[in-house]
Structure 1
Amino acid sequence: MNHNPASPGPLRVLTAITSGQEPAVIEHLARHRGQVDVVRRCADMAEARGYAGAGIAHVIVMSSDFPGFDRHAVEAFTTHGVALVVLNDPLDQYSSQRLTALGVRHFLAYSQVSDGLIPLMTEAHNAPAGEADNLPIEWTSSRENHDLSLAPPATQGRLITVWGTHGAPGRSTLTTNIAYGLAHRDQLGRRRSKKKQLPTESSASAIIVDADTQAPSITQTLGLLDEASGLAQACRAAGQGLLTASALTRYLAGITPQLGVLTGLARASRWPELSASNLETVLTTARHCAQWTVVDVAPDIDEDDFAAFDPRGPRRNAATTTTLAQSDLIVVVGTGDPVGTTRMVRALETITNHPDLAHVPRLVVVNKVRDTTAGSSTPRAIRLALSRFTRELPPVLLPDAPTTVDRSLMNGRAVLEEAPVSAIGKELTQLIDVIASGFDTGNSGNERSESTADQQMAASGV
């Protein structure tokens, strides 16, 4: 649909132009009074967005260097149904590539105002609303001062989100181990191939993203310095239209040559820095950097209480819902005790009934399973309780291994890095096979994954 329904009379126009260029542009618009009507000359971005929201204009003409011009402003005008026309100097930093990355569809150099502004305003007003073309992304294979050399994927990489219940079910631990296992599946396969004739995978690459806006902990889990958030920096670059794959690699902390981390927020109070639009851009870019992107998110997906008072304001849970909606697979994790299983059932009901998330494939992982919580029948009871939510695959059960996990945490390493041949390490390796085989074989992967999961459970006495 158009930004505004066709209406008789001139186009109603807002202007937000830097002082040096404003007189010439206003004079040009004044000469076309029958076609356009300048209803307001805005002094700042707050005024421009306010009048756009009031519905008094069809089009806003804005300078690319106007204070506050960024992705949020572009989205605000789109939301209000006001067509945006940007005037820029091609010789400055606001290049056509950057404007395209910000989602601007109609822009013009100042030198072309006299001939092209009025036709472009008309075109913008009549154009159907839609998404801007994707920005081509360049690749760089290394990051300065880090031992990081990700292999770019031949096709768009996969996005896996680890989500689960409250109560510390092990989301961060599972995130780091899934990412490490997928990035080093060839090494894990070689260890097993010494005993069994198993095919090994070629070298892969993975990125961990800590998008938890409530209790980010990937930094501590992997023993990294808690100085600056790589994810926040990437989101700021995305908001300015400057994020490419080569830029994203500069924000990664290198764990191994095949595994990088976008560290999370240093303080949970900084959650507004992870806006939905910017985070979506970061995740899309990450898909072009590595075969696998594994994201740790907070447990809450409900609407914030403030939504009723400010429908267009920032949402604390937007990082979680945006990531889940973009995922190729959601790994839902909970604990294997009676409290954790009850929380898991409620969490699965929530995600099953969520209109934006119900269609996303998911794999249920029950962590910290131990006989002391409900006797030897614990695994069977857990599978029965979760059976109506787990679709094709049965839930994957991971045993409680506090000693091994604690040692890995103290050393700042993934369990699969610290103790790959331990009991929990072997179970995690089989979980990696379940995930990877599902993507490798498409529909047939469900059968292969289910078989692998069944073998795992049989080996665990489930």
Structure 2
Amino acid sequence: MTQVLLAVDFEFDLILFELLSEIDEVSIVARPADDVELLALCRTGDADVAIVGEYFPGLDAEVIAAVSAAGVKVLGFGGDTANLNALGMSASVSSTADAATIAQAIDDVRDSTVVPPRPSVPPGAREGVGTIVTVWGTGSAPGRTLTAVNLGDHGARQGHRSVVVDADTVSAMVATTLGLTEESAHLASLCRRETEKSPPLDLNSLPHAAIREDFHAITGLTRPERWPEIRGSVLAAVLARLVKMFDLVVVDVSDRVDPDDDLADPFYDRHCATRAALDAADVVVVLAAGNPIGLQRLVKLLGTERAEAMREKMRIGITKVRSGAVGHPAEARIREVLHRFVKVEADFLFSDDRATADAAMLAGHTLHEENPKSVLSQEIAEAVGQLLPGRKRARTGPGRRRT
């Protein structure tokens, strides 16, 4: 007897229930109402196969991966085979299938061997798309948002069409840093459109703010409690779409990466957005403040399994570098600490230019807009040059700032 979970939208629920009732060797365990209930039932171990409709509430690729991880085989149900495949359902039946066809499909799925999907992109550098740089780091406010915004700004000034994405689900500050007055959350809108299968196909239909013609921003959540709107798998799909529209995608994320509760469902925690942005990144810039507490936190972070897994694509940046915090000369002291405790070199050292940073924040400007001769601005420009290959592109004059 095959134990089946029936997880389809309301329109087909009763029809499919009656069809399955005609099959002798199939028993319907439950009919969950949404993705949360579906995953809870999968983890009880009572089901062999889950029949999942393409419009089932809360459905995305992460949910399908979680169902499979729980040991339950998945049979897609719907008319759009390409969409079902994109969600991770390699086996499916049409919504017009009869009982015999569905019975055979259930048997095939139940007896199948799960094979990891073939990567859609071969290993190595991706062609025809831009670069994703995720700005992460320790606590103690090392300046993630300030760095992310100005990496995007200087990327644009060096010939890369750039966008800054605010994926910080704890404290979104990109809009404030750039002086944007609109109240909409662009990223939440993008995630919703991705889930509804109506994503923007070009820049004209993309929810965003145009800072300049070649520099754009996708604002984050207007209220921290809206974090459930930013699901990890959906954010990954959004970033994959953005990197086809822009040369440089800079993602600002929270320092928090692990679930607040170790016993909570890892697919529904506040910080899944951070993990998704780190996984999607071509380069992860890890920031720490250039003071004893910031350096100690960096040493601890670099000793974690996640940092070890990202070693090849990780770049270390020390911010707010000043002799008063670590001794003179500050650069030598910082390098000495990092070499002694974690045997690494800092890739970037960013000066503590508080006067320019404060003035830029007050005016809603980038560092270069506020003071082109700022040492900090020049250091971030040099960092962009190291992170990205040179690019020559005809550029027109800056457009108006949109608020």
> Post-superposition shift, 1:423?
2.6
Q: Which residues of 2 match residues 212-231 of structure 1 at below 5 A? A: 212-231=168-187
Q: Which residues of 2 match residues 275-314 of structure 1 at below 5 A? A: 275-304=231-260, 306-308=261-263, 310-312=264-266, 314=268
Alignment partner of 1:15 out of 6, 16, 32: 6
AA matched with 2:94: A
Tell whether 2:23 aligns with 1:38: no
Alignment partner of 1:125 out of 110, 116, 121: 110
Q: Distance in 2 between matches of 1:233 and 1:427?
A: 34
2:301 is paired with a residue of what secondary structure?
helix
> Post-superposition shift, 1:303?
4.1
CA displacement, residues 89-115 of structure 1 (integer Å, 9 cap, x when unaligned): x4xxxx444434433333332323356
AA matched with 1:276: G
CA contact (8 A) 1:367 1:398 kept: yes
Q: Distance in 2 between matches of 1:64 and 1:409?
A: 45
Q: Distance in 2 between matches of 1:339 and 1:128?
A: 50
Matched residue, 2:98: 113
Matched residue, 2:161: 205
Matched residue, 2:316: 364
> Post-superposition shift, 1:178?
0.8
> Post-superposition shift, 1:62?
4.0
Matched residue, 1:379: 331
Q: Distance in 1 between matches of 2:351 and 2:9?
A: 63
> Post-superposition shift, 1:70?
4.7
CA gap of 1:17–1:369, structure 2 versus 1, over 3 A, is closer
> Post-superposition shift, 1:381?
0.6
CA gap of 1:108–1:385, structure 2 versus 1, over 3 A, is same
AA matched with 2:70: H
Matched residue, 1:348: 302
Greater RCO, CA 8 A, separation 6+ = 2
Matched residue, 1:266: 222
Query: How many residues are paired up?
Result: 385
Q: Which runs of 5+ in 1 are unaligned?
A: 1-9, 137-152, 186-202, 441-462
User: Alignment RMSD, CA only?
Assistant: 3.2
AA matched with 2:357: V
- TM-score w.r.t. the length of structure 1 is 0.73
Q: Mean alpha-carbon deviation: is it higher for 393-402 or for 39-48?
A: 39-48
Q: Distance in 2 between matches of 1:432 and 1:87?
A: 47
- Percent of aligned pairs sharing the same letter: 25
AA matched with 2:134: T
1:404 is paired with a residue of what secondary structure?
helix
Q: Distance in 2 between matches of 1:330 and 1:68?
A: 30
> Post-superposition shift, 1:254?
1.6
CA displacement, residues 247-268 of structure 1 (integer Å, 9 cap, x when unaligned): 8951222222222222111122
Tell whether 2:167 aligns with 1:182: no
CA gap of 1:57–1:415, structure 2 versus 1, over 3 A, is same
> Post-superposition shift, 1:215?
1.8
> Post-superposition shift, 1:23?
5.6
Matched residue, 2:75: 85
Q: Mean alpha-carbon deviation: is it higher for 403-412 or for 356-365?
A: 356-365
Q: Distance in 2 between matches of 1:239 and 1:133?
A: 23
CA contact (8 A) 1:61 1:87 kept: yes
> Post-superposition shift, 1:68?
4.8
Q: Distance in 2 between matches of 1:117 and 1:403?
A: 68
AA matched with 1:335: A
CA gap of 1:416–1:357, structure 2 versus 1, over 3 A, is farther
1:111 is paired with a residue of what secondary structure?
coil
2:309 is paired with a residue of what secondary structure?
coil
Q: Which runs of 5+ in 2 are unaligned?
A: 392-403
